[in-house]
Structure 1
């Protein structure tokens, strides 16, 4: 099984260098430069809060009514946010389990592709990006931390991030693209939420234009946003990448019940509920190892 997984990952890496891809960014750092120069060159509105910004000067917090929660230095800059956190697409990789994000960057070509995918990158106020971290998207209950006029709410107790209504469809369509391209499982609860959000917040003109620009820059379009003329997305790349990221377990575990660590029978079962069911509470310190009393 390991040999097969290695061959699939190697094949995906070869495809990345193929001429069928226009210019897939080689790293997260290069993706940020491409996003600024080729995608957002004439855009000056942050993703979640709608604050005008300059990439060098940062966001105009006063003009948009943003209230700093705790981190003024980070709130004063624009950062590139992964809509689907690197933790979500990294924790299914062996490289992540062996050494976390830095190890994946050094040793896993498919992870680097997912981390640098322009469809998953948006400009956000640094404090909001930091507070969101790898929280799941959802509707929060108390206690809630808010940011003035910015329509974002965060519950650190529930580890839930509630985006503004006008971005919820964008988030759903991004998650579906990442799911299909990299074979990442989305829990049934999240899928239901995203379906509702996509209906409530349909595709707008900027989302369409952004999709066109990304297709021109990296050769892949998000089919949930709209078909792009001369789209260069090779189906074999999507298939190969998905296979290389999917769980190898066929144990028959089910997401139908939400289990605690005390109810788990094995480390394999805890990994299934973390990775395939999205039960992030099993990994309280977010190190990729759930129920450490069982998996250590």
Structure 2
């Protein structure tokens, strides 16, 4: 019987071929994904909160799982009803389980921005201690994660057919001004390993210009 020998190049090809750029098809149980994959795997050794860049070694009581594309807006887009009612909708469960959309966020920040729309508010609106600007229903993230937000938004809009939560032009500007850094790329690679699909706007940011 012949033995199969894999060269490093072949191995890399085979590993990359298992990743897709489509939807999350591996997970559809949000509660389990949050517990076992988000906090228990992706951030098992801690990390830094998304908007405020505060270090943490474990979840604790000040942090929660946030969403670049808030789940309340997903429910509105799907017209599936309340959170309890949408929990019975397989499409919603699939979207709500997508790690590419999940971020570690301070509880108070997540509560304030759940129904916000992303916008450039300008220097006339004062930044808070995290670099966030807010005015009425509008939310402007800190400069250092504007591109992250834009690429996460593009992924959700294109992958699941959801509406933009703000102007596409604003997100495209943020994407150009804040290209992927090492932290975003490292997180993306880890999620791709766990979930089995990529965010094409991180691997090729110029694709966002086509949306």
| Matching of residue 105 in structure 1 with residue 107 in structure 2 | no
Which digits, 9 at most, give the CA deviation of each residue in 1:85-140, with x for residues without a partner?
Answer: 112222122422xxx2210112x101111111100000011101111112011123
Alignment match, 1:153: 133
> Distance between the aligned counterparts of 1:22 and 1:141, measured in 2?
35
Of 190, 201, 204, the residue aligned with 1:224 is 201
| Matching of residue 46 in structure 1 with residue 49 in structure 2 | yes
Which structure is higher in RCO with an 8 Å CA cutoff and minimum separation 6?
A: 2
Alignment match, 2:7: none
Alignment match, 2:71: 86
Which digits, 9 at most, give the CA deviation of each residue in 1:163-188, with x for residues without a partner?
Answer: 1001000000001111111111227x
Instruction: Give 5+ residue unaligned stretches, structure 1.
Output: 1-20, 59-76, 228-296
Does structure 2 retain, via aligned residues, the 8 Å contact 1:22–1:217? no
Instruction: Give the superposed CA RMSD.
Output: 2.5
> Distance between the aligned counterparts of 1:50 and 1:191, measured in 2?
25
Which digits, 9 at most, give the CA deviation of each residue in 1:144-181, with x for residues without a partner?
Answer: 67543x111222xx211111001000000001111111
> Distance between the aligned counterparts of 1:79 and 1:192, measured in 2?
29
Does structure 1 retain, via aligned residues, the 8 Å contact 2:30–2:97? yes
Instruction: Give 5+ residue unaligned stretches, structure 2.
Output: 1-22, 205-211
> Distance between the aligned counterparts of 2:174 and 2:153, measured in 1?
12
| Alignment length (residue pairs) | 182
SS in 1 for 2:93: helix
Alignment match, 2:96: 115
SS in 2 for 1:134: coil
Give the TM-score normalised by the residue count of structure 2: 0.77
Does structure 2 retain, via aligned residues, the 8 Å contact 1:22–1:216? no
